[in-house]
C-alpha cells in the first residue's frame, strides 16, 4: 500500500513538472506561429458565392 502512495505522489509531481514546462513554453512564445502569416497572402480563402438552386416543382416531371 505504501508503494501506491509513492507512485501517486511521483505521478502528481511529474504532472506538475509538465504543466510548469507547458506554461513556460507558452510564456516564452514557443507555440507562436511565425511561418503561416508570411505565406497567408499566397492562398485564396474566399469562396465564390454559390447560387442556391430554386425549388423544383413536381409539375415539370
> pLDDT digits over 12-35, tens only?
999 999 999 999 999 998 888 878
Find cell 514557443 and name the residue: 30
pLDDT over 60 at 61, yes or no: no
Considering the chain, what percentage of its residues have pLDDT values greater than 70? 70
Question: Taking residues 29-43, what's their average pLDDT?
Answer: 80
User: Which pLDDT does position 19 carry in this prediction?
Assistant: 98
Question: Taking residues 48-58, what's their average pLDDT?
Answer: 66
Contact 12, 6 (CB under 8 A): no
Task: For residue 51, give the 3-state DSSP assignment.
Answer: coil
Q: Alpha carbon 18 to chain centroid distance?
A: 19
pLDDT over 90 at 4, yes or no: yes
Query: How far apart are the C-alpha atoms of 12 and 25, rounded to whole Å?
Result: 20
Amino acid at each position: 500500500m505504501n508503494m501506491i502512495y509513492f507512485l501517486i505522489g511521483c505521478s502528481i509531481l511529474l504532472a506538475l513538472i509538465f504543466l510548469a514546462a507547458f506554461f513556460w513554453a507558452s510564456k516564452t512564445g514557443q507555440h507562436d506561429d511565425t511561418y503561416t502569416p508570411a505565406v497567408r497572402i499566397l492562398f485564396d480563402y474566399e469562396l465564390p458565392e454559390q447560387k442556391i438552386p430554386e425549388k423544383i416543382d413536381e409539375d415539370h416531371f
